[in-house]
Amino acid sequence: MLINGKRLKLLVDIGHPAHVHLYRYFISEMEQMGHRVFVTVKDIPAAKELLDIYSIKYMDLGKKRDSIWGKGLHQLRYNLKTFNVVRKEKIDYGIGSSITLAHVSRLTGMKSFIFDDDDNEVEPFFVKFVHPFAHCILSPDCLRFQRNGKRDITYAGYHELAYLHPNRFIPDPGVLRDAGLKAGETFFVMRFNVFKAHHDSGIRGLSLKQKLQLVEMLKKKGKILVTTERDMEPELRRYRVKVSPAGIHSLLYYAAMFIGDSQTMTSEAAVLGTPAIRCNSFVGRITYLEEEEHKYKLTFGFKPGRFEQMVRKIEELLAMPDLKEEWQKRRRQMLRDKIDITAFMVWFIEHYPESLQVVRENPDYQYRFK
């Protein structure tokens, strides 16, 4: 529907493959309501592949860089290109998880909405250079203790529930055939990161030796499917998963367990009701994952120095009868407490600024979006 007879012009900025999943239902629903949505993306092959799979048109902002200096220089280029798009198209609202939108919004008439699910101490650069410029920052309510400023809004959910909530996601059993699996076959999904984001300095995940130890242990129980962000070690290439990126969530849903050092995929497995084990230096520092672990017991995190405890936990879980059934029960409990994030996002953006006042005066209004 159009607000006051006006068709909104929206800009969604994609800075990571996970953002395609986060915003894709929002994009399609806003377009179905008659609003016009523009999408910008950095030159990230995995993100562009997903956008193509979902038939989302986009404008390429150029290459990403891994070094801090490279990121800084290219940020100026991203800002300039985005500024030109906003001015040319007369964008009303910018939606994303990027520094670009926040900065450009202060140089134009565009309002910026930043979706941020990380703790302040984990992303001090982002908090310092993005939060002060954003018109509204939306975060999971488990971060309410940090997000209590005038521009902050919290909601009952996680980013992953924007696309993996039962209202959005139906697992596709065809992915099992695509992965070379037989119906009912036990398999494990493993995911390994490269940790090159600006907030990843000094962060460690699993070593190659540890990865191979896990593979040797798990392959006695079922098939191993490994996915990674970039280049995979030669020793692991034989286990590379051979499914479309759009099918990875169905694969996670049917997996016996997820093991890796990825924050996002750990949370994805957890909200799908698949036991998730994570090992990296961020453990204990990511509030939404801490909630998934300690409140809902859907995932377990271990720092690299506690690898042996992690192995014992995996063995303990594999010995549990009806492991997947128990995790689906825990998932249902979590879902009873949470909302459909995309439905909330669509309502909030479409009815802004009235929606801002509504949720401030009545935070429970969000539970209409179950």
pLDDT confidence band for 50 (50 / 70 / 90): very high
pTM of the model: 0.92
Residue 67 has pLDDT above 80, yes or no: no
- Asked if the structure places residue 270 within a domain, the reply is yes
Sheet holding 257-260, edge to edge: 223-228, 187-192, 257-260, 276-279, 299-302
304 with 359, same domain? no
pLDDT in the model for residue 193: 72
Find the angle CA(19)-CA(23)-CA(25) to the nearest 5 degrees: 140
- Asked if the structure places residue 92 within a domain, the reply is yes
155 with 265, same domain? no
Burial class (CB in 10 A: 0-12, 13-18, 19+), 18: buried
User: Which CATH number goes with the domain that contains 273?
Assistant: 3.40.50.2000
- Asked if the structure places residue 2 within a domain, the reply is no
- Asked if the structure places residue 3 within a domain, the reply is no
**What is the Cα–Cα distance from 334 to 261, expressed in whole angstroms?**
23
304 with 185, same domain? yes
Lowest mean pLDDT among 66-70, 81-85, 86-90, 220-224: 66-70
- Asked if the structure places residue 4 within a domain, the reply is no
**What is the Cα–Cα distance from 205 to 260, expressed in whole angstroms?**
8
The DSSP 8-state label assigned to residue 232 in this structure reads P
114 with 252, same domain? no
pLDDT in the model for residue 200: 40
pLDDT in the model for residue 230: 65
13 with 106, same domain? yes
**What is the Cα–Cα distance from 99 to 78, expressed in whole angstroms?**
10
- Asked if the structure places residue 35 within a domain, the reply is yes
- Percentage of residues in the chain having pLDDT higher than 70: 92
8 Å CB contact between 257 and 274: yes
29 with 154, same domain? yes
* Average pLDDT over every residue of 119-132: 91
* Average pLDDT over every residue of 131-147: 95
DSSP, collapsed to helix, strand or coil, labels residue 341 as helix
Give the tens place of pLDDT for each residue, 259-274.
998 899 999 999 999 9
8 Å CB contact between 35 and 41: no
- Asked if the structure places residue 267 within a domain, the reply is yes
Give the tens place of pLDDT for each residue, 305-363.
999 999 999 999 999 999 999 999 999 999 999 999 999 999 999 999 999 999 999 99
CA atoms within 13 A on the CB side of 198: 20
329 with 206, same domain? yes
pLDDT confidence band for 3 (50 / 70 / 90): low
Residue 370 has pLDDT above 90, yes or no: yes
8 Å CB contact between 162 and 345: yes
364 with 274, same domain? no
pLDDT confidence band for 5 (50 / 70 / 90): low
pLDDT confidence band for 366 (50 / 70 / 90): very high
The CA–CA distances, whole Å, from 64 to 81, 124, 128, 230, 258 equal 14, 20, 21, 14, 29
pLDDT in the model for residue 199: 40
Give the tens place of pLDDT for each residue, 246-261.
899 999 999 999 999 8
pLDDT in the model for residue 198: 40
Structural domain count of the chain: 2
27 with 69, same domain? yes
The residue among 28 and 233 whose pLDDT is bigger is 28
Residue 243 has pLDDT above 50, yes or no: yes
- Asked if the structure places residue 1 within a domain, the reply is no
204 with 297, same domain? yes
152 with 214, same domain? no
pLDDT in the model for residue 70: 54
pLDDT confidence band for 197 (50 / 70 / 90): very low
Lowest mean pLDDT among 68-72, 79-83, 334-338: 68-72
Report which of 8, 218, 217 is spatially closest to residue 93, judged by C-alpha positions: 8
Domain of residue 362, residue span: 9-165+339-368
- Average pLDDT, rounded, for the chain: 91
The CA–CA distances, whole Å, from 53 to 21, 43, 56, 178, 253 equal 11, 16, 8, 16, 20
93 with 193, same domain? no
* Average pLDDT over every residue of 228-255: 88
8 Å CB contact between 278 and 260: yes
The packing angle between helices 341-350 and 354-361, to 10°, is 120
